[in-house]
Structure 1
Amino acid sequence: MPAPKYGDYCDVAAVGLPAAFSIVWCRFPYEEHPDEPGKDLRPCLVRQSFTTEIDVGGKTLLIGLIDTVYGTKQIDRFPPPRGFHIDREEDKRALGLVYDTVFQLDNVVRLAWTRSYFGPDKSGMLFGKQLSRQLQEALRSQWLEFLGR
């Protein structure tokens, strides 16, 4: 896939960058085409985000990079500790999720914060919804279990 063009990058100074534990809507790449955005926006979890400067067409640009965790409604395909489940109604509602959702902890891809990969949720927000403290602690604990610690 060719490098994104200048106008495809989200303006980090203007729109910000989602923090760890945020839900983002992402065209997560398919395994068959790892360098291309997927077809549909799906809820994904931000594991980590950071900025870096790159040269795009002779211009220095501050861009965001996001370690993005794959999310799917195929909750029974990824049991814990491999999959982190969001299935309580109040959690789904707070996170803007319609379906029971599982985040596949062993499927993480670093993606540029671009319009090609990320889009707004149904309310028009690019990001902003974040796991509650309780869910963050549960995820941390499950992550350690997943890593075998």
Structure 2
Amino acid sequence: MPADTSDDDPRTIPVDPAVHVETFATHQTLTWKAGSRSQFVEAVRVLDAVPPTASVVVDDTAVAGRQRRSLSDIESESDTATYLRIEPDAPWTLSWERRTQPIVSVSGTPSATLCRRVHRRTTDCSAWSDEAVAALYGLTTDETP
């Protein structure tokens, strides 16, 4: 088990980096430490549920205020963007934020499959154990893996 997870925390998926699950009355938010902005953009571009015309909220230090753009207008290489939120026509959003270490979050009512796929594509995690898959499905859906 990775160092930043705990057997005592049922809201943490035991993968590396760990996925933290917060449940609210109307939605969930899953977060994890991630790779670069370009890695996030490329991971989003291969998702069938996210068309090139999907709306993206961008916070960029080179421009005052947040802007809306389409995914096709987002450059994968940029040193000035600090926040991206992808808003496809789906019951969830995907975000990348530059903090001390970049963070990816999935909010809304995403499927376990989507969360796992995005986690694997935005981190160095190459595989999930059966235990981790079961924990994710248990926290995000009534389905079984």
- TM-score tier after normalising by the smaller chain length: under 0.3
User: TM-score normalized by structure 1?
Assistant: 0.24
Using structure 2 for the length normalisation, give the TM-score. 0.24
Which one has the bigger strand percentage? 1
Q: Which has the higher contact order (CA 8 A, sep 6+)?
A: 1
